[in-house]
Amino acid sequence: MSASRVLVVDDEVSIRRTLREILEYEDLVVEEATDGEEALSKLRKSTFDVVLLDIKMPKQDGLQVLATCVETWPELPVIMISGHADIKTAVEATQSGAFHFIEKPPDLQHLLVTVRSALERGKLVIENRRLRQALKQQQGSVLVPMLGDSRAMHAVKGLIERVGPTEARVLITGEPGTGKELAARWIHTQSLRREGPMVAVNCAAIPSELIESELFGHEKGSFTGANRQRIGKFEQAHSGTLFLDEIGDMSMPAQAKVLRVLQENRLTRVGGERTINVDVRVVAATNKDLRVAIDEGKFREDLYHRLSVILLNMPPIRERTGDVSMLIEHFASRLSKRNGLPPKIFTSEAINKLSSLPWRGNVREVSNVVERLMILSETDTVTLSDVEHLVVPASSEEGQIHAMAKHYGKLADFRDHTERLFLQQKLEENNWNVSQTATKIGIQRSHLHTRIKHYNLERDA
């Protein structure tokens, strides 16, 4: 993680020197400015995590600079530096948006505590903004469209429009990568519960011994490691929709408890005694044939009938090849905007060739292939030749590796590209559970967080 950057603004050389020595001893990166105009110039050219700003300076004083900072960089913490005679002005500055103020000459401990608090506040503001954006996407403010003009997709959209406004439970079936979670989100968006939460649980990504705690919550001290109370997914989804993905992988004991909740609309947390009422619409999904699982004794028949009031099957790509061109156009546009890639046009020959492929990974595979072509094709047009060299050989893993190796001249670039694809795939397999993913691929969670940030990996809406 890079060191935090501090801009010290003061016209007194001795004050700047003192502040620099203190802050650099704390492993902070320090830049200096001698007046307000120089400070604003540096703020416009570089990014800082906190500003230490003197009040009385030539050209532009601290209050003028503060006003510009509050308007232009509202998330940037500004600490005012004031002489004893300026205390009243410094207090007024905090009311105008300054984070805090310190007196000259600065007290070491007070300065460090104030700077650390400002840095922490700045991090919290950024994190809260990120969480709000993620929540908006989760609630459907930014929702990927259900793409396709084929007869199969028109049937899916029509069924969602009909069943969405009802309270009926829906069981979504289909092969991996066909868009089962997207269908669930559209059902929620079409429902009367759309203002409530949409909570998703990947039952396959949670160890069987933890699934009950994940779904129903637990009380503090209910088992080893339960250091605090946890609210389960059913409670989190109260007045909204709970999406149980890969329901076919849920353990039999957990199935029994889910059935009880669906029957009684109430639950008890693990280790608790109090009964909690819940009002949740359940939408489930699976890529397995649950009727076969019932015959094998791996899935409860009574739960199946509770979940499958409405059956919705997501068609594989091979049953709607006419939609491939639309999917290509969508993913190419999205990847161009999200990853900063130059826009590229797919020739009709390239699209025809892509439409003829088997697409065993369905929509997810289409997205990955389009991204590969956008990155590795050498011109602003994706041609039939590009598809034949970069996609068709990829039916064998060795062919795909040879195609990428031919494109990259340096080992570091090749390694970065393959690592990015690997991490994206594993995160998706584990429903973006970072701890679970880190454990399965054999690295520390903190290291995985670092790689996610390094590659700007994001979960699809």
Cα 284 from chain centre: 22
Q: Over the stretch 266-305, which tens digit does the pLDDT of each residue have?
A: 999 988 888 888 999 999 999 999 999 999 999 999 999 9
Of 110, 137, 140, residue with least CA distance to 22: 110
Q: Are strands 266-267 and 276-277 parallel, antiparallel or unpaired?
A: antiparallel
Q: How many residues are listed for the chain in this entry?
A: 461
Cα 343 from chain centre: 24
Q: Over the stretch 1-42, which tens digit does the pLDDT of each residue have?
A: 457 899 999 999 999 999 999 998 888 999 999 999 999 999
Q: Which residues have CB under 8 Å from 253's CB, separation 6+?
A: 212
* Range ranked top by mean pLDDT from 103-107, 143-147, 262-266: 262-266
E strand spans, 58-140? 78-82, 100-103
Neighbours of 413 (CB within 10 A): 12
Cβ atoms 30, 6 nearer than 8 A? yes
Q: Over the stretch 323-334, which tens digit does the pLDDT of each residue have?
A: 999 999 999 988
Long-range CB pairs of 221-229 (<8 Å, 24+ gap) are: 221/271, 222/269, 222/270, 222/271, 222/272, 223/270, 223/271, 226/270, 226/271, 229/269
pLDDT computed for residue 108 by the predictor: 86
Q: What mean pLDDT comes out for the span 347-376?
A: 91
pLDDT computed for residue 8 by the predictor: 95
Alpha carbon distance 276, 234 (integer Å): 10
Q: Over the stretch 44-71, which tens digit does the pLDDT of each residue have?
A: 888 889 999 998 888 888 888 998 888 8
Torsion of Cα atoms, 441 then 443 then 445 then 447, to 10°: -120
User: Which two structure tokens, joined as six digits, stand for 170?
Assistant: 């829906």
Cα 11 from chain centre: 44
Residue 139 pLDDT > 50, yes or no?
A: no
Q: Over the stretch 398-445, which tens digit does the pLDDT of each residue have?
A: 555 655 666 666 777 778 878 888 888 888 788 788 888 888 898 888
**Torsion sign, CA atoms 431, 434, 438, 443:** positive
Taking CA 228 as the corner, what is the angle to CA 226 and CA 233, rounded to the nearest 5 degrees? 85
Sheet-wide strand order for 170-173: 198-202, 241-245, 281-286, 170-173, 310-313
Cβ atoms 347, 380 nearer than 8 A? no
Residue 395 pLDDT > 60, yes or no?
A: no
Q: What mean pLDDT comes out for the span 448-459?
A: 82
Give the residue carrying structure tokens 């060739």: 353
pLDDT computed for residue 397 by the predictor: 52
Lowest mean pLDDT among 53-62, 121-130, 303-312: 121-130
Alpha carbon distance 365, 382 (integer Å): 17
Residue 187 pLDDT > 90, yes or no?
A: yes
pLDDT computed for residue 346 by the predictor: 95
Bridge partners, residue 349, by sequence = none
pLDDT band with cut points at 50, 70 and 90 for residue 461: very low
- How many percent of the chain have pLDDT more than 70? 90
Residue 173 pLDDT > 70, yes or no?
A: yes
Long-range CB pairs of 140-144 (<8 Å, 24+ gap) are: 140/185, 140/188, 140/189, 140/194, 140/198, 142/461, 143/185, 143/186, 143/189, 143/461, 144/182, 144/460, 144/461
Q: pLDDT averaged over the chain?
A: 85
Lowest mean pLDDT among 120-129, 308-317, 347-356: 120-129
Q: CB-based burial of residue 57 (10 Å sphere; 0-12 exposed, 13-18 middle, 19+ buried)?
A: buried
E strand spans, 156-286? 170-173, 198-202, 241-245, 266-267, 276-277, 281-286
Q: What mean pLDDT comes out for the span 365-369?
A: 91
pLDDT computed for residue 348 by the predictor: 94
pLDDT band with cut points at 50, 70 and 90 for residue 119: confident
pLDDT computed for residue 273 by the predictor: 83
